[in-house]
């Protein structure tokens, strides 16, 4: 027999505990919220639901209000049940802000959840929280005006959490990401990887530790404060130097290069120094720099995989005289490669003729080409003359086909 508690009235729990239990034991009780009914838990009161089924709490138009502080709780014995469990919370203004927890591994036991709104400066803080700073800077302007306190009593448990806030509490904060307060370090842990968000909610997979949580946005200061970034040409190489004033949760830098300044490619990575507020200096030399004008960009990657682009610098290297390298010579596999050393600035006219002057191949190679491939697999073995003409230079070389 399943015992259902259908709430058609309003209950105010003031410092009290109610445990929902069916007549045949705790495990079958259900709380059904409909007809606009609600439970208002305040001043340390809490409701315990022992039924681990996801439909142990269901709602149509009803809800549960926990808006006073983290002492008031809704506690649910979820255990090893892997179905998504929805805690149907609302704000003081009756805006629906459900919290969802889905176990993905282990036994999470009872999960107790509290949530409440804050002022614009994110006060009052939960009991153990002392700030919402990032790198010593007040980040309240980029933090959603609501806290969540999540606790479990199970021996293990990995879960996916979804935090929902009211639009007014989110304000102009975008690209939401949830973060857990670490009372050991007295700081906010880096956001776990794999988070997804909407305008007023964020979902976090792989959660194994709980305690207070907050939601911040992408307007926060960068985890790396770049004070300088220079690029200069030295002979045929490019030397890059950059300095950071402070770093937090920085994993590594990626050096990127572009000929156009639009499309960048990774050319190497540089490991980050120790986390802290000290000045750190980095350098990198591009031994395969491009002739002429090119662009360099730094990409910084956090420990959670988040990327930030820190700056773009342009370098001008002197361009040597146009050249051409034809290989392999002799041609043994039917393929001849023409390397113009750098991308062509003008079209190149290419011909291959036998020593009597009969042309066996001719083409025009387009601007921007660096390496061009010629198929000579059907040409007879012998010696031939390769000629290439551009607006800047002429080139000729005897090649042998075997």
SS3 call for 170: helix
Residues of the chain with CATH 2.60.40.3080: 325-401
pLDDT recorded at residue 10: 41
CA 88, CA 97: separation in Å to the nearest integer? 7
- Structure confidence at residue 24 as a pLDDT band (50, 70, 90): very low
Choose which CATH entry (2.40.420.20, 3.40.50.920, 2.70.50.50, 3.40.630.20) describes domain 224-317. 2.70.50.50
Mean per-residue pLDDT, 288-301 = 86
Closest to 185 measured CA to CA, from 105, 131, 146 = 131
Q: For 122-168, what is the HEC assignment? A: CCCCCCCCCCCEECCEECHHHECCEEEEEEECCCCCEEEEEEECCHH
For the chain, the C-alpha Rg in angstroms (whole number) is 33
pLDDT recorded at residue 397: 85
- Structure confidence at residue 322 as a pLDDT band (50, 70, 90): low
Is the pLDDT reported for residue 122 higher than 70? yes
Mean per-residue pLDDT, 202-225 = 80
CB atoms within 10 A of CB 218: 13
CA 229, CA 144: separation in Å to the nearest integer? 33
Q: Per 3-state DSSP, what percentage of the chain is helix, strand, and coil (rounded to 5)?
A: 5, 55, 45
pLDDT recorded at residue 337: 92
SS3 call for 358: coil
Is the pLDDT reported for residue 306 higher than 80? no
Is the pLDDT reported for residue 320 higher than 50? no
Mean per-residue pLDDT, 119-147 = 85
Among 282-291, 319-328, 334-343, 390-399, whose mean pLDDT is lowest?
A: 319-328
Of the two residues 44 and 334, the one the predictor is more confident about is 334
Mean per-residue pLDDT, 172-195 = 85
Is the pLDDT reported for residue 13 higher than 70? no
pLDDT recorded at residue 187: 79
Among 49-53, 90-94, 147-151, 225-229, whose mean pLDDT is lowest?
A: 225-229
Share of the chain above pLDDT 70, in %: 83
- Structure confidence at residue 256 as a pLDDT band (50, 70, 90): very high
pTM across the whole model: 0.54
Cβ burial of 106 (10 Å; 0-12, 13-18, 19+) is middle
Q: DSSP string of 9-55?
A: SEEEEES-EEEE-BTTBGGG-EEEE-TT-EEEEETT-EEEE---SGG
Stated length of the chain = 402
Residues 304, 309, 310: CA angle, nearest 5 degrees: 115
Of the two residues 87 and 2, the one the predictor is more confident about is 87
Contact 126, 104 (CB under 8 A): no
Residues of the chain with CATH 2.70.50.50: 224-317
356: CB partners within 8 A, 6+ apart:
none
CATH fold, domain 325-401, is Immunoglobulin-like (2.60.40)
Among 45-54, 186-195, 213-222, 337-346, whose mean pLDDT is lowest?
A: 213-222
- Structure confidence at residue 323 as a pLDDT band (50, 70, 90): low
Residues 367, 285, 281: CA angle, nearest 5 degrees: 135
Among 68-77, 248-257, 282-291, 326-335, whose mean pLDDT is lowest?
A: 68-77
Partners of 7 in the β-ladder: 33
Share of the chain above pLDDT 90, in %: 41
Contact 198, 210 (CB under 8 A): no
Q: Which two tokens stand for residue 269?
A: 């990575």
SS3 call for 216: strand
Omega of the bond prior to 330 within 30 degrees of 0, cis? yes
- In what side-by-side order are the strands of the sheet with 307-317? 265-271, 250-258, 292-302, 307-317
Mean per-residue pLDDT, 110-123 = 94
Contact 342, 292 (CB under 8 A): yes
- Structure confidence at residue 208 as a pLDDT band (50, 70, 90): very high
């Amino acid at each position: 027999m399943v015992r259902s508690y259908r709430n058609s009235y309003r209950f105010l729990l003031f410092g009290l505990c109610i445990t929902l239990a069916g007549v045949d034991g705790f495990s079958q009780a259900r709380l059904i919220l409909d007809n606009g009914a609600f439970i208002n838990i305040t001043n340390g009161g809490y409701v315990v639901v022992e039924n681990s089924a996801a439909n142990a709490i269901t709602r149509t138009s009803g809800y549960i209000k926990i808006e006073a502080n983290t002492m008031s709780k809704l506690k649910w014995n979820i255990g090893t049940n892997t179905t998504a469990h929805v805690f149907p919370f609302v704000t003081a203004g009756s805006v629906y802000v459900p919290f969802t927890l889905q176990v993905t591994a282990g036994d999470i036991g009872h999960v107790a959840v509290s949530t409440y709104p804050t002022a614009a400066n994110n006060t009052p803080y939960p009991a153990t929280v002392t700030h919402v700073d990032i790198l010593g800077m007040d980040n309240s302007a980029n933090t959603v005006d609501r806290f969540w306190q999540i606790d479990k009593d199970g021996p293990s448990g990995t879960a996916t959490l979804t935090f929902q806030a009211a639009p007014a509490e989110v304000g102009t904060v975008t690209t939401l990401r949830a973060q857990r307060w670490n009372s050991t370090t007295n700081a906010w842990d880096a956001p776990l990887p794999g988070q997804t968000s909407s305008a007023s909610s964020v979902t976090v997979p792989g959660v194994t530790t709980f305690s207070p949580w907050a939601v911040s946005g992408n307007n926060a200061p960068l985890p790396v404060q770049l004070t300088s970034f220079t690029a200069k040409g030295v002979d045929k190489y490019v030397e890059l130097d950059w300095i950071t004033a402070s770093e937090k949760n920085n994993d590594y830098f990626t050096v990127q290069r572009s000929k156009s300044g639009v499309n960048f490619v990774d050319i190497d990575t540089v490991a980050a120094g120790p986390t802290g507020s000290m000045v750190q200096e980095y350098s990198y030399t591009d031994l395969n720099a491009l002739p002429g004008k090119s662009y360099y960009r730094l990409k910084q990657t956090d420990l959670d995989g988040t990327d930030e682009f820190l700056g773009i610098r342009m370098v001008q290297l002197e361009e040597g005289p146009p050249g051409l390298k034809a290989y392999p010579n002799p041609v043994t596999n039917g393929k001849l490669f023409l390397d113009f050393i750098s991308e062509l600035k003008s079209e190149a006219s290419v011909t291959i003729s036998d020593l009597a002057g009969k042309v066996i191949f001719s083409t025009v190679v387009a601007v921007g080409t660096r390496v061009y491939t010629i198929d000579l697999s059907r040409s007879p073995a012998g010696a031939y003359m390769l000629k290439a003409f551009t607006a800047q230079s002429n080139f000729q070389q005897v090649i042998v086909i075997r």
